[in-house]
């Protein structure tokens, strides 16, 4: 047959009308099993592929989902995206992933999703306080699931208990005797940053220690060079930190590079904890103690919430929060009483006196 196969060709081979073929190919419309079988056989013989765009105009559904994250190279996002895509594919949806480049393209991407008639959105924002972005999301008119963000929108959300996680990490370091802890974290303008800072500060407070035990360095720029420069400055101080808590992404890479540049050893001279159990944390030498949560289940849950909302099976908006777990490896020990040869002087802690 010359040219693309048309619905009329399928109808002719199956011995039915074109409208019957259309009905048989639409899972949401009634058609007898005998009709569906005849049409399916004709479709298979002719290699017919329905026009997805034309179908979307008829049924008001594109079967596509827009997913926007700030950095697709972030390994924590990557695992979530893969899991969400797999669940959406099972349900017959195609997921389009877009990189907002740390927030600079958020408005453009959201408007593009609207023009392309996405059935729903999975979104993480680079700044929870941007009113212009929130206004576009409110006016989108499609189901939305927020990924670990806390903003004034009526939608479903999937989050992580970062506050309790940070509390557990800092409490663990305090129990080892550390009294100079550096927390390298994304900005307080996003929920994970705010929650981690609150949890870390609460751990210090509940331990009856002064706030000066914890130094918080929150970043908008999460790149390896930026974090490297920041940690380098902190390690150059006379009262340098004896422990660093950092996100297990490019931030961890920058932290490890700065530690190496200062000729410090992990854990003999400085302890390190990764927020997020990434490949870098797992296979660094030594392995980095990490706070982890189930990224795959996070992604599948976000997709499931969106599917249920699109298909009208959801009731009130839900927030599902995943717990964290501290995985102990070999990167944390009590702070050294004396600096090792070649290392910068460390803070003398109460436990080391």
Please tell me the predicted confidence (pLDDT) of residue 51. Answer: 60
What CATH number is given for 64-160+296-321 in this structure? 3.40.50.2300
Note the pLDDT tens digit of each residue in 229-272.
999 999 999 999 999 999 999 999 999 999 999 999 999 999 99
Please tell me the predicted confidence (pLDDT) of residue 316. Answer: 95
The share of the chain scoring above pLDDT 90, in percent, equals 66
pLDDT (mean) for 200-209: 98
Distance of alpha carbon 10 from alpha carbon 115, whole angstroms: 32
Residue 348 has pLDDT above 50, yes or no: no
Q: Cβ–Cβ contacts within 10 Å for residue 343, how many?
A: 18
Please tell me the predicted confidence (pLDDT) of residue 166. Answer: 98
3-state secondary structure of 334: coil
E-strand stretches of the chain:
64-69, 94-99, 120-123, 144-147, 156-160, 181-186, 214-219, 243-247, 271-275, 289-292, 319-322, 325-327
pLDDT (mean) for 329-334: 98
Please tell me the predicted confidence (pLDDT) of residue 346. Answer: 36
Please tell me the predicted confidence (pLDDT) of residue 206. Answer: 98
Note the pLDDT tens digit of each residue in 123-174.
999 888 889 999 999 888 899 999 999 998 999 999 999 999 999 999 999 9
Average pLDDT, the chain: 89
119 pLDDT band, cuts 50/70/90, is very high
Asked whether the domain spanning 162-293+327-352 has the same topology as the one spanning 64-160+296-321, the reply is yes
Distance of alpha carbon 316 from alpha carbon 95, whole angstroms: 24
Please tell me the predicted confidence (pLDDT) of residue 224. Answer: 93
What CATH number is given for 162-293+327-352 in this structure? 3.40.50.2300
Phi, psi (5° rounding) for residue 186? -60, 165
Note the pLDDT tens digit of each residue in 84-104.
999 999 999 999 999 987 667
Residue 28 has pLDDT above 80, yes or no: no
Distance of alpha carbon 235 from alpha carbon 180, whole angstroms: 11
Note the pLDDT tens digit of each residue in 169-179.
999 999 999 99
Please tell me the predicted confidence (pLDDT) of residue 103. Answer: 66
Instruction: Give domain limits for the chain.
Output: 7-50, 64-160+296-321, 162-293+327-352
The share of the chain scoring above pLDDT 70, in percent, equals 90
Least confident of 99-103, 132-136, 192-196, 328-332: 99-103
Distance of alpha carbon 80 from alpha carbon 298, whole angstroms: 6
Please tell me the predicted confidence (pLDDT) of residue 117. Answer: 86
Please tell me the predicted confidence (pLDDT) of residue 48. Answer: 82
């Amino acid at each position: 047959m010359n040219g693309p196969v048309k619905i009329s060709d399928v109808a002719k081979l199956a011995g039915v009308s074109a409208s019957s073929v259309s009905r048989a190919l639409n899972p949401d419309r009634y058609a007898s099993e005998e009709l569906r079988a005849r049409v399916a056989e004709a479709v298979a013989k002719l290699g017919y592929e329905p026009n997805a765009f034309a179908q979307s105009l008829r049924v008001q559904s594109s079967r596509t989902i827009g997913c926007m994250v700030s950095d697709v190279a972030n390994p924590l996002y990557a695992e979530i995206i893969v899991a969400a895509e797999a669940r959406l594919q099972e349900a017959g949806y195609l997921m389009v992933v877009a990189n907002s480049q740390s927030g600079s393209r958020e408005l453009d991407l959201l408007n593009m999703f609207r023009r392309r008639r996405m059935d729903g959105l999975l979104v993480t924002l680079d700044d929870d306080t941007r009113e212009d972005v929130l206004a576009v999301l409110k006016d989108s008119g499609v189901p939305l699931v927020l990924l670990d963000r806390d903003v004034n929108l009526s939608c479903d959300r999937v989050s992580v208990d970062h506050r309790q996680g940070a509390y557990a990490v800092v409490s663990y370091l305090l129990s080892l005797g550390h009294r100079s802890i550096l927390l390298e974290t994304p900005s307080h303008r996003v929920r994970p940053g705010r929650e981690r800072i609150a949890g870390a500060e609460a751990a210090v407070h509940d331990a009856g220690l002064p706030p000066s035990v914890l130094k918080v360095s929150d970043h908008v720029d999460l790149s390896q060079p930026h974090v490297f420069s920041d940690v380098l400055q902190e390690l150059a101080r006379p009262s340098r930190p004896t422990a660093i808590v950092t996100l297990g992404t490019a931030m961890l890479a920058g932290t490890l590079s700065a530690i190496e540049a200062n000729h410090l050893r992990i854990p003999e001279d400085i302890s390190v904890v990764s927020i997020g159990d990434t490949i870098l944390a797992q296979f660094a030498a030594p392995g980095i103690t990490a706070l982890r949560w189930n990224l795959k289940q996070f992604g599948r849950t976000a997709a499931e919430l969106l599917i249920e909302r699109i298909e009208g099976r959801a009731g009130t908006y839900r927030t599902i929060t995943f717990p964290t777990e501290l995985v102990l490896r070999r990167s944390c020990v009590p702070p050294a009483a004396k600096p090792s040869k070649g290392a910068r002087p460390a803070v003398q802690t109460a436990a080391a006196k």
